[in-house]
Amino acid sequence: MAAPKKPSTPTKTTAPPDPMPPEAGAGIAYHQALNPAQLEAVRFGDGPLLVLAGAGSGKTRTLTYRVARLVEEGVDPRSILLLSFTRKASQEMLQRASLLLDARCRDVAGGTFHSFANATLRRYAAVIGFEQGFTIIDRGDAEDLIGIIRKEMDPPGDGRQLPRKSTLATIFSRAVNKQRPLEDVLYDDYGHFSDMVDTITTIREQYTRRKREHHFLDYDDLLIHLHLLLTEYEAVRQRLAAKYRYIMVDEYQDTNPIQADIVSLLADAHHNVMVVGDDAQSIYAFRGADYQNILDFPKRFQGTRIVKLEENYRSLQPILDFTNRLIESADAQYSKCLFTRRHGGLPPVLVMTAGENAQSRYVVREVARLRREGTSLDRMAILFRAGFHAFDLELELNRAGIPFKKVGGFKFTESAHIKDLLAHLRIVAAPDDQLSWRRVLGLIEKIGPKTADRIFAAVRAHSQGAGGLLSAPLKMKNQAKLQPLKDLIGALTDAPEAVARWGELVFSYYLPILRAKYDDHPRRQRDLEQLLAIMARYRHLDDFLSDMVLEPPSTAIEDGLAAAEPTAECLTLSTIHSAKGLEWDTVFILWALDGRFPSMRSMEDPDDLEEERRLMYVAATRAERELHFTCPVQIFDRATQSLLCDPSRFLDGIPENVLRRENYPDW
């Protein structure tokens, strides 16, 4: 049970040095910083360009240098649009480009598809019939609204129930993202509900109608409306195409048909479009992404130049030997084989453990060992398929006193107390927001959904915004209960627009409610204080509220630690989806157990199974030096009533010299 040893001599990295600010007046040293393929992409002039970038091949570096290069050549930074997967990723690229060149690079327009859609739609809101603006609703809000409609519908009558609200939301979203009729999605993916197609269609019509009534846009609507704006309003499309003369898209393999269309529409006039991605790392099929999208790019744009980045700068050779093998045995033929000049190190290890808790103890033991040997916790990550897969490990890490942050899974802004506080601000910002009124009023004793809706209707009829609550005619017994809330709204509407001040007013109103409602209120109160700190960074309430939906802080703990002790080192726990694009010295992949990874559900459909394999590939290629898989055995699977005992089928047939096997504890 020898654990992988650190290589005795530090491995020499052949990766180009990190970008440094150029000497005053000197140009950027492209030749020293980039390999020939990267250089070709960076120096590519006008026209369509497809960069197929393997894992760890310097994709971000290439995009960063190309931005700097364009700006250096005199392109107006505001005419460059850089769409990437997370806002953090695009900010980092622009920051690095600024270091290479100068601060002009910060003026590059960038963000996620959704944040770009938000910004654009705000500018053209009147064109698409949102004269009074709009509120972006997150998944939870969407489900609440669907839940209200669902409850109003007649039950099917045969004793069965309609799909739960979260399932309905998934069905509706899938139909949009895959651009398929609702009926087809139901028939293919939810066969057991396909006979309710009429009722479900009605629910969706109602959902669409009410979103419009309340000026709500959900995540999908942002893309739909942007697409609509570009297709239906030729003048707008021309203006946007003239404004953004260079389009760049990161992680193009994860775009869905609407997003790919949006890119085409924007680039149609000039064809100056560069997309970067890796078909082998496409892991968002569940929301409509199709790796075929990136392979079809040259068909959309005639004369596309294709550049392949195949040299890996991240991982040691034994890790690449393994990951190449993993992706080679895929059914689909992906387009590359990676190589590296980083030698040394041991092959990855697969560790069989006697159950889930043994898995957790193995990870804790190894993390402690690595730390003793000098690896910072910041350089290690634990990756897993789904958020709840790490629950047991979290307990063990707490017991061992190892600090960690968890990324992915449940979000800060999804917890009830955060949503409560935001709802108070939302009714002021958007008085038509019935969902937020329900939430705010429902917090008051003896007010439930019915009373809340009545009060909402009265306020709305008064059409004075949230202040309508102060003058709307209400029943006497409601008047008294509502007095504190009225005082709050009065204070909010009187105070000048200062986001942080409003946050404090709501906080002091909400604190007694929080204390009465939750036993664990001290922890939640700390979260709220974090939220207030975040609010202080904003000048406009609308921006704050939009950001909380589009790019919420990934974890409460992360921000807590970052704020309190920015230097404290910290282990990362992450879903594989949230780990995309990141890298660590040492990576642990949990639950490499057939039935968990791949999951039972994915085994019926070859396409789903392929995506699981790509997911494992993404996880494994995050590692630079050490890679551990753990496989707890004898796990009972309730869905199939069977005992799971075998390692992931993706690891079958990989020889011992590529993947070592161990048992923990020895048995």
Q: Own/partner pairs for 602-608, CB < 8 Å, 24+ apart?
A: 606/331, 607/285, 608/285
Which of 6, 69, 96, 150: binder of DNA (CB under 7 A)?
150
Q: What is the DSSP letter of 160?
A: -
Indicate which residue of 62, 64, 253, 281 is catalytic: 281
Region near DNA per CB under 7 A, out of 2-10, 74-82, 163-171, 505-513: 163-171
Place of tokens 């006697």: 354
Which residue's CB is nearer to DNA, number 112 or number 621? 112
Per the annotation, the verdict on 151 as an active-site residue is no
Indicate which residue of 60, 91, 304, 317 is catalytic: 60
User: Rule CB under 7 A: is residue 360 a binding residue for DNA?
Assistant: no
* Residue 169: CB minimum distance to DNA, A: 8
C-alpha count within 13 angstroms, C-beta hemisphere, residue 616: 31
Site for DNA in 125-144 (CB under 7 A): 138-139, 143
User: Rule CB under 7 A: is residue 385 a binding residue for DNA?
Assistant: yes
Contact in structure between 226 and 120 (CB atoms under 8 Å):
yes
CA dist., res. 72 & res. 321, Å (int) = 39
SS (H, E, C) 223-286: HHHHHHHHHHCHHHHHHHHHHCCEEEECCHHHCCHHHHHHHHHHHCCCCCEEEEECHHHCCCHH
User: Rule CB under 7 A: is residue 388 a binding residue for DNA?
Assistant: yes
Site for DNA in 532-591 (CB under 7 A): 550-551, 575, 577-578
Per the annotation, the verdict on 250 as an active-site residue is yes
Region near DNA per CB under 7 A, out of 127-135, 146-154, 295-303, 586-594: 146-154
- 518 φ, ψ (degrees, to nearest 5): -125, 135
CA dist., res. 621 & res. 581, Å (int) = 10
* Residue 536: CB minimum distance to DNA, A: 23
> 568: which residues sit within 8 A by CB, 6+ positions away?
403, 561
Closest CA to 52 of 325, 288, 289, 281: 281
DSSP string, 287-309: GT--THHHHTHHHHSTT-EEEEE
Site for DNA in 27-86 (CB under 7 A): 85-86
Which residue's CB is nearer to DNA, number 131 or number 445? 445
Which residue's CB is nearer to DNA, number 342 or number 524? 524
Per the annotation, the verdict on 60 as an active-site residue is yes
Cβ atoms < 10 Å from Cβ of 80:
24
Which of 18, 234, 445, 666: binder of DNA (CB under 7 A)?
445
Which of 84, 315, 451, 621: binder of DNA (CB under 7 A)?
451
User: Rule CB under 7 A: is residue 635 a binding residue for DNA?
Assistant: no
User: Rule CB under 7 A: is residue 151 a binding residue for DNA?
Assistant: yes
Which of 129, 448, 512, 522: binder of DNA (CB under 7 A)?
448
Region near DNA per CB under 7 A, out of 1-9, 30-38, 55-63, 280-288: 280-288
- Partners of residue 384 on adjacent β-strands: 575
Q: Is 45 exposed, middle or buried (0-12, 13-18, 19+ CB in 10 A)?
A: exposed
CA 172 to chain CA mean position, Å: 19
Contact in structure between 572 and 584 (CB atoms under 8 Å):
yes
Which residue's CB is nearer to DNA, number 387 or number 403? 387
- 3-state class (DSSP) for residue 381: strand
User: Rule CB under 7 A: is residue 518 a binding residue for DNA?
Assistant: no
User: Rule CB under 7 A: is residue 166 a binding residue for DNA?
Assistant: yes
**# residues near DNA by CB under 7 A:** 53
Indicate which residue of 138, 144, 221, 251 is catalytic: 251
User: Rule CB under 7 A: is residue 387 a binding residue for DNA?
Assistant: yes
* Residue 142: CB minimum distance to DNA, A: 9
Number of helices and strands in the chain (H, E): 28, 19
CA dist., res. 399 & res. 393, Å (int) = 10
* Residue 375: CB minimum distance to DNA, A: 25
Per the annotation, the verdict on 622 as an active-site residue is yes
Query: What stretches of 391-498 show up as alpha helix (H) in DSSP?
Result: 391-400, 416-429, 434-442, 449-462, 468-471, 476-494
Per the annotation, the verdict on 281 as an active-site residue is yes
Which of 84, 98, 112, 555: binder of DNA (CB under 7 A)?
112
Which residue's CB is nearer to DNA, number 94 or number 142? 142
Region near DNA per CB under 7 A, out of 1-9, 20-28, 331-339, 445-453: 445-453
Region near DNA per CB under 7 A, out of 21-29, 62-70, 281-289, 330-338: 281-289
Type of residue found at 457:
A
- Burial string for 435-467 (b: 16+ CB within 10 Å, else e) reads bbbbbbbebbeebeeebbeebbebbbebeebbb
Which residue's CB is nearer to DNA, number 414 or number 652? 414
* Catalytic sites, residue numbers: 59-60, 250-251, 281, 622
Q: Which residues bind DNA (CB under 7 A)?
A: 85-86, 112-115, 138-139, 143, 147, 150-151, 155, 161-162, 164-167, 170, 173, 219-220, 283-284, 286-287, 385-388, 408-409, 442, 445-452, 550-551, 575, 577-578, 599, 601-602, 608, 638-639
